Homo-oligomer: A and B are copies of this chain.
Amino acid sequence: MDKVRIIEIRESVFADNDREADRIREGLKRDKTFLLNLMSSPGSGKTTLLMRTIEALKNEFDIGVMEADIDSSVDAEKIAKTGVRSIQLHTGGMCHLDAGMTEQGLKEIGASDLDLVILENIGNLICPADFDTGAVRNAMILSVPEGHDKPLKYPHIFTVCDVLIISKIDVMPYFDFDLEKVREYALMRNPKLEIFPVSARTGEGMGAWTEWLKTQVNEWNNGVKLLTE
């Protein structure tokens, strides 16, 4: 099994998380590094989707992955097998990452010489949505088995995300999941949300998602426009 570095990160000491997050984004802009914050429930398929995304983009970009978990390093070990830089962040039981914790991870992974860093946030639809990590873009995954009513029950995360990836669409025949309803509910929360239904297993829909991400990274790193402004 590949050995990965495990970093114990600590809750931020910064009183103003939003200002700290803005400061992180300024640094990323200077370093031409794009940070994606990927959020979801436990078991939505974040790591598998990430592995396929890395395969599609690793010839274009120098990529790093920060796996945040309460415990274990199973995800970082899987990611390490793809050949990209990977570290495991342990939050000491904390249910989310804030800007200061993210910054500790960025330093440890050496983000400044990477084009794209992906933060796999703690599996939780609630708390991570309350903290700006300093990411350039926020993405969330909702997997088919979780059901199409989630935008009704967990509204906030849908409002802070730029992208909704609907994962595991290959198992749609076995679940009572209505793709049109989830679109309707999600866009009700956030009309600007980009929505990509995908199956990391079959590859369906993965091209549209990775193309979107590629464009975002290039725009940010080449300074065509400062998208967060």
Contacts and interface: CB of A to CB of B under 8 A. Distances in A.
Contacts of A130: 93
A25 to B, nearest CB: 25
Given A122-B126, A124-B125, A152 B43 contact: no
A224 B71 CA distance: 39
Interface string A198-216: 0000000000000000000
A42 B174 contact: no
A153 B72 contact: yes
Contacts of A124: 95, 124-127
B171 A95 contact: no
Given A70-B154, A71-B152, A171-B171, A42 B145 contact: no
Nearest to A142: B43
A132 interface: no
A155 B95 CA distance: 13
Given A69-B153, A72-B153, A171-B171, A43 B147 contact: yes
B43 A150 contact: yes
Contacts of A153: 42, 69-72, 74-75, 123
A168 interface: yes
Nearest to A173: B174
Contacts of A41: 41-43, 123, 146
A149 interface: yes
Interface string A33-77: 000000001110000000000000000000000000111101100
B74 A152 contact: yes
A201 B72 CA distance: 32
Given A41-B42, A71-B154, A145-B145, 20 more contacts: A41-B41, A41-B146, A42-B125, A42-B150, A42-B154, A43-B143, A43-B147, A43-B150, A71-B153, A72-B149, A72-B153, A75-B153, A93-B130, A95-B127, A123-B154, A124-B126, A124-B127, A127-B127, A145-B171, A171-B175
6 contacts: A70-B154, A95-B124, A95-B126, A122-B126, A145-B145, A171-B175
